Amino acid sequence: MERIVYSKDIQITRQSSIKIALEFCKVHGIAPSFKQLRRLTDLFCEEALMAPDEEFNENVSKVDLWILEQKAKLGK
């Protein structure tokens, strides 16, 4: 597998996005798996770097549903 080397701007965006994703989960009382955290980070990066399209909106809806499911498991 070839390692991807991002530009400095994208590296900074990803660093910021993972912090935002962690804080977002913390606020909602969710302990995400590493895979879930990566997906949230990708979603926040996509929002910062690209114009939203239909696929992005669908992904946001899926994340919203996931959050509700996680909160239901925690009894919130």
Q: pLDDT tens for residues 2-58?
A: 777 778 888 899 999 999 999 999 998 899 999 999 999 999 998 888 888 999 899
Sign of the CA dihedral running 65, 67, 68, 73: positive
- Are 76 and 29 in contact, with CB atoms under 8 Å apart? yes
pTM, two decimals, is 0.77
Helix axes 8-28, 34-49, angle to 10 degrees: 120
Sign of the CA dihedral running 14, 15, 16, 19: positive
Q: What is the pLDDT of residue 37?
A: 93
**Among all chains, which residue has been given the structure tokens 């606020």?**
27
The more confident residue out of 63 and 1 is 63
